[in-house]
């Protein structure tokens, strides 16, 4: 082969496998969800792909994302994106604390806001037409169970899609995950359950699988998207790939399938120098504790804040606390309370000895990455599950946000900061998390490219396409039940026949003996 011809075919082959694809990301615009959608979008962009995010035109961080070079497609929010407002965050925080984290209350608070955003998104026909003109190769859809309406959009565009989710929806992904040792994601159980816990776990798992968890679609949307909305709850099962925002370094070991990819820790980064305000405070401190409760839980009730202040005042540590309403309280000298903190950079600082957290998924990964012991104060949703798995790994301790005392918090901080076993477990866990051929972001991009290029047939279990009753072997169970029932019937008939004829057989036998 001539050199020129060889180079031509080599270049053509490389271009074929290194093509720039058009990928659209459909997140639910919660800050916590953007904490893993944004890094994925940036990694796709840096890998040469044409990447788009679909967001409300009222989403507050939209300009910041545009400044980073990301393409933003917006839908008309009619003036506000409710789930990105401080008032919404406050209602959720107070509602969950006042009701003990009740999932039913959470649904009543969140579902209407999600339904409103879904309606605005799906009724923006101009946005849909833009999507058709761009010609996306694939969509990445947020798998939040309240927001399954998002799947309608790629269905209408007739493009493949994958699911990115923190909720490990084993039923819709058809992963055989026995509830005997796989706890339901929103339960308060670990992997080692008692009989009663296993009993309850089966009920919760079955109830979630059978229930319709998304808010109902309006009639206007159903009329406009007749084919796609007919059974939009089932669209998730048609995902080409499931990317679970978790990792075995922090979670329980669970069954999996080839189309299940673990991408926990996509927001992880090495540390940067601290801004001046924080650098000065840390410089004059001995041992730092980072305190933050995420984006949604930003408005803690005053009585909880006062308990924390009392615990911090008695503590030998110095605290950097994300507390938006700090001016309303008497803050001790050993506490720096501000509206925003560089969480990752503080957790990665050598003086940081503990992390007080609500057990949000992203914060847990950052603490593990930097091997920082945790004191968990979970409130709702997956935070309780996250705190249990953290405690099971011995990465820290868990307290009740509803019942903790100042003394308990003070003692918990001292315990985790000075416990060598906890620190050793975290160091090992951090090494397990870091020691991979690809980090979580690059792993996610690799599999997105893989599915676009090759499809999903070689990854997809036939179990996904089976009718639910066949997947659960209910038809086989019915067959065995009928067979067992038939055998019982035969045995019973045989018994009746033997009983009815026993006397005749005995009489006949006696007569034969007399004859002889």
> pLDDT digit string (tens) for 333-381?
999 999 999 999 999 999 999 999 999 999 999 999 999 999 999 988 8
The answer to whether residue 411 scores a pLDDT higher than 80 is: yes
Count the helix, strand and coil residues of the chain and give each as a percent rounded to the nearest 5: 55, 10, 35
Q: Which of 363, 289, 373, 293 is nearest to 332 (CA)?
A: 289
The residue behind tokens 């669209």 is 235
Mean pLDDT, the chain, whole residue set = 88
Print the SS3 string covering 282-329: HHCCCCEEEEECCCCCCCCCHHHHHHHHHHHHHCCCEEEEECCCHHHC
| Least confident range of 30-39, 85-94, 180-189 | 85-94
The mean pLDDT of 451-466, rounded to a whole number, is 94
% the chain with pLDDT above 90: 61
Say how many CA atoms lie within 13 Å of 404 toward its Cβ: 27
Q: How far apart are CA 247 and CA 429, in angstroms?
A: 11
The rounded distance, in Å, linking the Cα atoms of 94 and 112 is 17
Residue 309: partners with Cβ closer than 8 Å, 6 or more residues away: 329, 330, 331, 332, 335
Could you list the beta-strand ranges (E) of 380-514. 396-398
CATH of domain 19-268+439-464: 3.40.50.2000
Assigned CATH topology for domain 276-434: Rossmann fold (3.40.50)
- Considering only 82-91, 314-323, 446-455, which range has the smallest mean pLDDT? 82-91
Once rounded to an integer, what is the mean pLDDT over residues 185-206? 91
Q: Cα(414)–Cα(16) distance, rounded to whole angstroms? A: 57
Distance CA 489, CA 500 (A): 16
Helices H, strands E: what count in the chain? 21, 13
What burial letters (b/e) apply to 85-94, b meaning 16+ CB within 10 Å? eeebbbbbbe
pLDDT band at 12 (very low <50, low <70, confident <90, very high): very low
Per DSSP (E only), the strands in 313-372 are: 318-322, 335-338, 352-357
**Residue 145 has what pLDDT?**
83
| pLDDT for position 9 | 47
Confidence band for 11, pLDDT divided at 50, 70 and 90: very low
DSSP 3-state of 169: coil
Q: Is the Cβ–Cβ distance between 205 and 171 less than 8 Å?
A: yes
- pLDDT reading at 17 higher than 50: no
**pTM exceeds 0.85, yes or no:** yes
């Amino acid at each position: 082969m001539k050199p020129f011809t060889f180079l031509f075919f080599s270049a053509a082959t490389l271009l074929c496998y290194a093509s720039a694809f058009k990928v659209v990301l459909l997140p639910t615009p919660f800050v916590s969800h953007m904490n893993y959608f944004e890094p994925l979008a940036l990694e796709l962009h840096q890998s040469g792909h044409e990447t788009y995010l679909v967001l409300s035109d009222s989403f507050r961080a939209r300009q910041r994302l545009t400044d980073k070079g990301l393409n933003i497609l917006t839908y008309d929010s009619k003036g506000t994106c409710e789930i990105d407002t401080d008032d919404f965050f406050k209602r959720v925080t107070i509602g969950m604390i006042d009701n003990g984290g009740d999932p039913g209350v959470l649904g009543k608070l969140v579902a209407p806001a999600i339904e409103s955003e879904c309606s605005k998104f799906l009724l923006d026909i101009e946005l849909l037409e833009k999507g058709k003109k761009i010609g996306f190769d694939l969509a990445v859809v947020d798998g939040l169970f309240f927001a399954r309406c998002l799947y309608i959009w790629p269905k209408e565009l007739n493009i493949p899609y994958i699911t990115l989710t923190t909720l490990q929806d084993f039923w819709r992904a058809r992963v055989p995950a026995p509830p005997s040792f796989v706890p339901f994601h929103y339960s308060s159980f670990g992997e080692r359950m008692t009989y009663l816990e296993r009993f309850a776990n089966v009920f919760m798992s079955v109830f979630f699988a059978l229930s319709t968890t998304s808010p109902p679609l309006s009639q206007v949307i159903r009329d406009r998207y007749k084919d796609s909305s007919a059974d939009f709850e089932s669209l998730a099962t048609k995902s080409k790939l499931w990317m679970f925002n978790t990792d075995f370094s922090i979670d329980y070991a669970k069954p999996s399938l080839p189309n299940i990819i673990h991408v926990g820790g996509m927001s992880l980064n090495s540390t940067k120098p601290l801004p001046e305000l924080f650098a000065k405070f840390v410089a004059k401190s001995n041992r730092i504790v980072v305190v933050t409760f995420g984006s949604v839980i930003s408005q803690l009730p005053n009585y909880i804040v006062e308990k924390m202040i009392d615990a911090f005042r008695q503590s030998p540590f110095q605290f950097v606390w994300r507390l938006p309403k700090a001016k309303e309280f008497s803050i001790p000298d050993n506490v720096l309370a501000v509206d925003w903190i560089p969480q990752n950079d503080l957790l990665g600082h050598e003086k940081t000895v503990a992390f007080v957290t609500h057990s949000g998924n992203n914060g847990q990964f950052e603490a593990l990455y930097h091997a920082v012991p945790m004191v968990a104060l979970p409130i709702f949703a997956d935070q309780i599950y996250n705190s249990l798995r953290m405690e099971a790994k011995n990465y820290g301790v868990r307290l009740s946000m509803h019942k903790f005392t100042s003394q308990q918090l003070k003692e918990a901080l001292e315990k985790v900061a000075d416990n060598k076993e906890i620190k050793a477990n975290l160091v090992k866990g951090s090494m397990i998390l870091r020691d991979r051929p690809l980090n979580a972001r690059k792993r996610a991009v690799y599999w997105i490219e893989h599915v676009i290029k090759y499809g999903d047939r070689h990854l997809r279990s036939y179990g996904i396409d089976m009718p639910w009753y066949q997947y659960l072997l209910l038809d086989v169970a019915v067959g065995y039940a009928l067979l067992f029932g038939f055998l019982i019937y035969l045995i019973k008939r045989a018994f009746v026949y033997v009983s009815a004829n026993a006397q005749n057989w005995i009489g006949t036998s006696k007569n034969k003996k007399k004859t002889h």
